[in-house]
Chains A and B, each alone.
Chain A
Amino acid sequence: MRRVLEGSHAVSHAVELARVKVISAYPITPQTHIVERLAELVADGVLDARFIRVESEHSAMAAVIGAASAGARSFTASSSHGLALMHEMLHWAAGARLPVVMAEVNRAMGPGWNIWADQTDSLSQRDTGWIQLYCEDVQEVLDTILIAYKLAERVSLPAMVVLDAFFLSHTYEPVEVPEQDEVDAFLPAWEPTEILDPADPHAFNQLASPEYYMEFRYKIQQAMEDALRAHDEIDAEFGRRFGRSYGAVHRIPCREGERAPLALVTTGSVTGTARVAQAALRQKGIGVDVVKLKLFRPFPHEEIRRVLGPYDRVIVLDRNISFGSGGIFASEIRAALALRGEQPAVYPFVAGLGGRDITPQTIESVVARALGDEPPSDILWEGLKL
């Protein structure tokens, strides 16, 4: 069924379709529409779930950890400061191998207070053991929630579906909403074996000494590696069932069947802007292939090398910054490429922080800079008031 949905509500409907049993969340702009709609769905009995109205994001994450530990498919949503407050529990969810799914609306961290799009919040959670999936548009948001559950439950790791503040969360787009029975076929009920059960009592998450801690970490890493393959399979299955698939890394060539000299790596809704800029540049005779990175954790090293390796130059557009280092996607990509003998020159642009618009012009500008004489450097700022 085709409907026009706000990005936040696409999340809510996906959660409904996923037959989530326990939802716990705490409001923060710009995530509020997600939880408000979910609260309504639960209140109206449309969604047969329990909504735990906690007093903080920390508790929200703790509550879904509890719920998932007792075997319930669980969901939460947050953003920025809320996500930061969850940080401890993000580790806990992953370490406990709980396939919790979270919608994370990318928003800048204060101070100063800023509610607009910025990826630093989610990327700061890079090392927590969560799968991270970045979405380009509202349709992808809806679909990715379903994919995320299947993936998370297959590898027993939590997954974060990331959407940009306002550009996605508060934007209405026409969306194909799948039928419930189709979703059920794709995403059957979660039937975990390792749960809290009075009939088979175990202790979970107890002290792990140096004798075993490392092995548990190894297992998480393995699960992440499995997730890489699993994502592609599940994405492909989703494509077969629903006619849409996204890929962990998706190359959008300037001209079908050709390789442009320059690749532009984007994430989130900026990919949509990049598509527009790509067309405009093509008109001007400048060929740029857009490479959309969806899966950030696990990081698709191989795929990155395969897709980006052959280019002369690669631009990475980061709407985030790791202070003292630079754009986070860029540094990960450079690290992945380092395993290749011959490497493209990487242009790591930081742009659009705190919700500053990344327009097609912004993209044209970075392309121009990368194609000009400017040498690649550790960090390049775009749009800075100098």
Chain B
Amino acid sequence: MSPVTFRSVRDLPPMSRSTDTMLWNRTGSWRFLRPRYQDKVAPCAEGCPAAEDIARIQILLGQGDFEAAWLRIREENPLPGVCGRVCYHPCETACNRGEYDDPVTVNSLERFLADHAWKLGLSPPPPEPAAGGGRVAVVGAGPAGLTAAYFLLRLGHEVDLFDAREEPGGLLRYGIPEYRLPLDALAWEVGLILNEGVRFHGNRRLGSDLTWDELSGYDAVFLAVGTWKPAPLGAEGEEHAQDGLTLLEAIRQGETPEVSGKVAVIGGGNTAMDVARSLLRLGAEPAVYYRRRLQDMPALPEEIQEAREEGIPFQTLLAPKRIEPLPQGGFRLVLTTMEILDEDEGGRPRAVPSGHPDVEVEVDAVVTAIGAGPSQGAPAEVTGEGLVAEGLHLKRIAPEGEWAARPPVLVGGDLVNDRKAVVTAIASGKEAALVIDTRLRGRDATSIWPSIRVGRKGGVSMNRYLSGDRAAQQDHVVRYDELNTIYFRFQERRERPRITLEERRTGFDEVKMRISASLALKESERCFHCGQCDQCDNCYLFCPDVSVLRDLRAGTREINYDYCKGCGVCVVECPRNAMILEEEPR
């Protein structure tokens, strides 16, 4: 469009009157700053070891497209129903909304999406055929192994998934109590993974039913057999104590263990909580003994809180010293009183004997839940020296000695993770799949690592891996002060409802109930969608130059640089920092 010119007075209208529009005037030439859409990393996504694109998931959820939101989770994590129940949700700790009022209940929304899919019997579309071409053995069918198998298959490899137990699930299946993770929910989600073509082989314990010779026939091995071996208590008479995990497994198998009366549960982690709360439900009177303070317990605060709500007493700054069987049955548990001296190098409070008199209690049983060592059959190399770093949640057995001749053996899950959790195991599995895939394609895994990591501290993203350079690759994590919070309203965080205390004390029904779709929508509204365009249209609306073009049907928008003067109003008015203003390229 070019400006109109009149050559002769005869052609002019009688008075100054428009014959044309201003569209000829390409005001884009005034611009020295250029606004641009740029999705950034939400802190939740960086906080999530599985690198779920939470902001995007919340956008989809908010639009009522629950299925798409669920599938979006599954791009990074095949176990949202599990995580939505048992994850320690570091996403919520990182959530920007926490600085505004309270974090978004990302975890409960994740469960909502999975449950929604489960309830409707949705199944994900079959994976696109991919030319991976490798054969991979995954040893251990816990969250790490399942995740590795899931992604490897999607990347086009053949996967054999081995486990020592009969059924897949590992800790999820055999270690976590029903009231936190119902078996049917787990079975559905595991089923989705296996249905995609993973070959599962149960009752194949490494070292006895599964040999390294057999494994050497594969192109790669991922080892994630967990840490089931009880750790020593370091107390006199500890042989009288029962192992917590074994107990939990028995309960999960439907057995009623012979533990009753007063039970001392030793430990402060989630297993201790699980044990104590399971025993309570079986009619025993558990009490928790822990060597540090309440606030030092590694268990999830909400687990501790729920245990206490249920009436389980907590005794802290007490370390077991001796377990003495009593003649009339039962035991005397002698505990050293402790005090906190300082912090060790890891920042963990160091407890030392306080010098105060010991404490003695008489109990019917003592159960330990104080962490565990590598499961039976795991090669010795997995305990430190023999491992080399491979990823954030992944190690590899150094290819030395006998290992030099074997295919690469990657190790993940609780075997290597500092923070032993379901979601970190999932991260291990994903990293293993990525590393194996890149290796099998003859590429160097370390070179792609930076581009697929979410944020600077976050996990790796399969989505980024698959979309290659295209998603190049913002690692700017949106800070709270980069949001335009005026566009948000204070809204109360909606915790998921729970069953009654009475029900909790007497049975294994799931404690946390489902949330309704309307509640989920309401809660999802609280999400700021940090760094991700959710089509709020502020950019379009406030543009003084009508230079934000919308495709209403496609739900997309773009800037018309023919006219955009680069004022930057759109960038400032974007509530969620999904735009940037940068210098106009000359």
Residues of chain A touching chain B, judged by Cβ–Cβ distance below 8 Å, are 95-97, 156, 194, 202-208, 212, 215-216, 218-219, 223
Q: Which residues of A contact B404 (CB under 8 A)?
A: none
Assess whether B16 is in contact with A212, with CB atoms less than 8 Å apart.
yes
Residue B9 at the A interface, CB < 8 A? Answer: yes
Other 16 A-B pairs with CB < 8 A, given A95-B16, A202-B17, A215-B12: A95-B15, A97-B15, A194-B14, A194-B15, A203-B17, A204-B17, A204-B18, A205-B15, A205-B17, A206-B16, A206-B17, A207-B16, A208-B16, A212-B6, A212-B12, A223-B14
Chain B nearest CB from A206 CB (Å) reads 6
Assess whether A219 is in contact with B16, with CB atoms less than 8 Å apart.
no
Q: Provided the pairs A212-B6, A215-B9, A218-B9 are in contact, do residues A156 and B14 lie with their beta carbons within 8 angstroms?
A: yes
Interchain CA distance A215-B6 in the complex, whole Å: 10
Assess whether B9 is in contact with A96, with CB atoms less than 8 Å apart.
no
Interchain CA distance A97-B12 in the complex, whole Å: 13
Assess whether A203 is in contact with B18, with CB atoms less than 8 Å apart.
yes
**A-B contact list, 11 entries, CB within 8 Å:** A156-B14, A194-B13, A202-B17, A202-B18, A205-B15, A208-B16, A212-B12, A212-B16, A216-B12, A216-B16, A219-B14
Chain A nearest CB from B346 CB (Å) reads 73
Chain B nearest CB from A157 CB (Å) reads 10
Chain A nearest CB from B2 CB (Å) reads 15
Interchain CA distance A307-B18 in the complex, whole Å: 44
Q: Which residues of A contact B6 (CB under 8 A)?
A: 212, 215
Q: Which 7 A-B pairs have the closest CB atoms?
A: A203-B18, A215-B9, A208-B16, A97-B15, A202-B18, A97-B14, A204-B17
Chain A nearest CB from B559 CB (Å) reads 27
Q: Which residues of A contact B16 (CB under 8 A)?
A: 95, 204-208, 212, 216
Q: Which residues of B contact A216 (CB under 8 A)?
A: 12, 15-16
Assess whether A194 is in contact with B9, with CB atoms less than 8 Å apart.
no
Which of B12, B15, B18, B19 is in CB contact (< 8 Å) with A96? Answer: B15
Q: Which residues of A contact B17 (CB under 8 A)?
A: 194, 202-206
B457-468 vs A: 1/0 string, CB under 8 Å? 000000000000
Interchain CA distance A95-B16 in the complex, whole Å: 8
Q: Which of B6, B12, B16, B18 has the most CB of A within 10 A?
A: B16
Residue of chain B at shortest CB distance from A223: B14
Q: Which residues of B contact A156 (CB under 8 A)?
A: 14
Which of A206, A207, A219, A223 is in CB contact (< 8 Å) with B9? Answer: A219
Residue of chain A at shortest CB distance from B15: A97
Q: Which residues of B contact A212 (CB under 8 A)?
A: 6, 12, 16
Chain A nearest CB from B387 CB (Å) reads 76
Interface residues of B in 1-24 (CB under 8 A from A): 6, 9, 12-19
* Count class of interface residues, chain B: 10 to 19
Interface residues of B in 520-567 (CB under 8 A from A): none
Residue of chain A at shortest CB distance from B5: A211
Q: Which of A97, A207, A223 has the most CB of B within 10 A?
A: A97
Interchain CA distance A205-B18 in the complex, whole Å: 9
B16-40 vs A: 1/0 string, CB under 8 Å? 1111000000000000000000000
Chain A nearest CB from B367 CB (Å) reads 84
Interchain CA distance A10-B525 in the complex, whole Å: 74
Residue of chain B at shortest CB distance from A213: B16
Interchain CA distance A25-B19 in the complex, whole Å: 33
Q: Which residues of B contact A218 (CB under 8 A)?
A: 9
Interchain CA distance A208-B12 in the complex, whole Å: 12
Chain B nearest CB from A65 CB (Å) reads 12
Q: Which residues of A contact B12 (CB under 8 A)?
A: 212, 215-216, 219
Residue of chain A at shortest CB distance from B22: A203
Interchain CA distance A156-B14 in the complex, whole Å: 9
Chain A nearest CB from B422 CB (Å) reads 64
Q: Which residues of A contact B19 (CB under 8 A)?
A: 202
Interchain CA distance A96-B17 in the complex, whole Å: 9
Interchain CA distance A218-B11 in the complex, whole Å: 13
Interchain CA distance A205-B15 in the complex, whole Å: 7
Interchain CA distance A223-B15 in the complex, whole Å: 12
Interchain CA distance A96-B19 in the complex, whole Å: 15
Assess whether B9 is in contact with A204, with CB atoms less than 8 Å apart.
no
Interchain CA distance A208-B17 in the complex, whole Å: 9
Q: Which residues of B contact A215 (CB under 8 A)?
A: 6, 9, 12
Q: Which residues of B contact A202 (CB under 8 A)?
A: 17-19
Chain B nearest CB from A221 CB (Å) reads 11
Interface residues of B in 139-172 (CB under 8 A from A): none
Interchain CA distance A236-B6 in the complex, whole Å: 37
Q: Provided the pairs A212-B6, A215-B9, A219-B9 are in contact, do residues A206 and B14 lie with their beta carbons within 8 angstroms?
A: no
Chain B nearest CB from A201 CB (Å) reads 8
Chain B nearest CB from A47 CB (Å) reads 29
Q: Which residues of A contact B18 (CB under 8 A)?
A: 202-204, 206
Residue of chain A at shortest CB distance from B16: A208
Q: Which residues of A contact B14 (CB under 8 A)?
A: 97, 156, 194, 219, 223
Interchain CA distance A207-B18 in the complex, whole Å: 10
Q: Which residues of A contact B13 (CB under 8 A)?
A: 194
B505-517 vs A: 1/0 string, CB under 8 Å? 0000000000000
Interchain CA distance A375-B13 in the complex, whole Å: 50
Q: Which residues of B contact A205 (CB under 8 A)?
A: 15-17
Interchain CA distance A212-B17 in the complex, whole Å: 11
Interchain CA distance A111-B9 in the complex, whole Å: 44
Interchain CA distance A204-B16 in the complex, whole Å: 6
Q: Which residues of A contact B15 (CB under 8 A)?
A: 95-97, 194, 204-205, 216
Interchain CA distance A97-B19 in the complex, whole Å: 17
Residue of chain A at shortest CB distance from B12: A215
Interchain CA distance A207-B16 in the complex, whole Å: 7
Interchain CA distance A365-B12 in the complex, whole Å: 53
Q: Which residues of B contact A204 (CB under 8 A)?
A: 15-18
Residue of chain A at shortest CB distance from B14: A97
Interchain CA distance A219-B16 in the complex, whole Å: 11
Residue of chain B at shortest CB distance from A207: B16
Residue of chain B at shortest CB distance from A157: B14
Chain B nearest CB from A364 CB (Å) reads 48
Interchain CA distance A204-B13 in the complex, whole Å: 11
Interchain CA distance A203-B13 in the complex, whole Å: 12
Chain B nearest CB from A212 CB (Å) reads 7
Interchain CA distance A219-B15 in the complex, whole Å: 8
Interchain CA distance A156-B12 in the complex, whole Å: 15
Residue of chain A at shortest CB distance from B13: A194
Interface residues of B in 36-51 (CB under 8 A from A): none
Q: Which residues of B contact A194 (CB under 8 A)?
A: 13-15, 17
Interchain CA distance A233-B19 in the complex, whole Å: 33
B265-308 vs A: 1/0 string, CB under 8 Å? 00000000000000000000000000000000000000000000
Residue of chain B at shortest CB distance from A222: B9
Interchain CA distance A367-B81 in the complex, whole Å: 116
Chain A nearest CB from B12 CB (Å) reads 5
Interchain CA distance A133-B15 in the complex, whole Å: 24
Interchain CA distance A247-B18 in the complex, whole Å: 38
Chain B nearest CB from A211 CB (Å) reads 8
Interface residues of B in 56-110 (CB under 8 A from A): none
Chain B nearest CB from A71 CB (Å) reads 14
Q: Which residues of B contact A206 (CB under 8 A)?
A: 16-18
Interchain CA distance A205-B6 in the complex, whole Å: 17
Residue of chain B at shortest CB distance from A208: B16
Q: Which of B12, B13, B17 has the most CB of A within 10 A?
A: B17
Interchain CA distance A279-B154 in the complex, whole Å: 119
Interchain CA distance A202-B18 in the complex, whole Å: 5
Q: Which residues of B contact A97 (CB under 8 A)?
A: 14-15
